[in-house]
Structure 1
Amino acid sequence: MSTDTATPEGQYRVVVNDEEQHSLWPLRTDPPAGWVPTGFVGTREECSAHIDRVWPDIRPLSLRRRLAGDAA
C-alpha cells in the first residue's frame, strides 16, 4: 500500500503565485488562494523535476526586480 496521500494515483499539479514562486499541490484539491495551476501534472517526482527546470532562480519576483533596479 502506498503512503502517498495526494490522490489514489499519487498525482500532483504544479502551481505558481504572483511572485513566480512554484510549488506542487495534490491534484484532488484546489490550490490555496493566490496560487494558480501551470498546467503541469504528474507524480511528486515529475512535478519536482519540472519545477527544478522552470524555476532556476528561486528568489521572489519582487526581490529579483529590486536587485535589478526595476521599480515595477
Structure 2
Amino acid sequence: MNNETEMFDVVINPQGQYSVWPQGKVMAIGWRAVGAGGERQACLAYIDEHWTDMRPRSLREAGVQRAAVGQ
C-alpha cells in the first residue's frame, strides 16, 4: 500500500508533539491517538490546524514559569 491510499491516525506524545501513524500498526510507546484519522493529507491538515506552538510542552511551561516570576 502506498502513502496515497494508506490510512493514518493523528497521534500526540506527552510533550504535545503531533505526528501521523499508520492505522493498524502497534502504537509507539509514549504516543496516543487523538481521534482524528484518514488519508495522510487530511491528518497533516489536522495537525497544521491544532499544533500551533511547535515547542515541546516542557519548554512552553518553562517559559510560562519564567514569565510568572519576572525573569
TM-score (norm 2): 0.83
What is the identity, as a one-letter code, of the residue corresponding to 1:4? N
Percent pairwise identity: 35
What residue is the counterpart of 2:44 in the other structure? Answer: 48
Specify which of 50, 60, 64 is matched with residue 68 of structure 1: 64
TM-score (norm 1): 0.82
Q: How far apart in 2 are the matches of 1:41 and 1:49?
A: 11
Larger Rg: 2
Q: Which runs of 5+ in 1 are unaligned?
A: none
Offset from partner CA, 1:20-55 (integer Å, 9 cap, x none): 111000002022000001110111100000000011
Q: Which has the higher helix share?
A: 2
Tell me the matched-pair count: 66
Q: How far apart in 2 are the matches of 1:69 and 1:60?
A: 15
Q: Which runs of 5+ in 2 are unaligned?
A: 67-71
